[in-house]
Amino acid sequence: MLASGRCIYGIVRCRRIQKAVSMEEDHEKLKKTSVYLEEEVLEALEEAALELRKETGMKWSKGAVIRLALSDFFTRRGKML
């Protein structure tokens, strides 16, 4: 969501971003876990976080980018989380 209140990529994409951001801000709902990723994946996550920061004006962590990607993955499979 832009500072003006408009969505960047349309309603569905914007809701996913809002959900990922609200989860980042609402720490009691998150469970700590560990994943093993290749170095190139970590670099891609950092790049995506920077791009999202430029687009939204909000700070993005690698964890938030992963949650956004997982939300998209499950939504495409017909499962809303």
Residue 74: CB partners within 8 Å, gap ≥ 6? 80, 81
The answer on pLDDT for 10 being more than 70 is: no
Contacts 24+ apart (CB under 8 A), 23-32: 23/64, 23/67, 24/61, 24/63, 24/64, 24/67
The answer on pLDDT for 27 being more than 60 is: no
Q: Of all residues in the chain, what percent are helix, strand and coil, respectively (each to 5)? A: 65, 0, 35
Higher pLDDT, 46 or 1: 46
pTM value is 0.64
- Report residue 2 as tokens: 């832009």
Q: What is the pLDDT of residues 33-79, one digit of tens each?
A: 999 999 999 999 999 999 999 999 999 999 999 999 999 999 999 98
Q: Are 1 and 56 in contact (CB under 8 A)?
A: yes
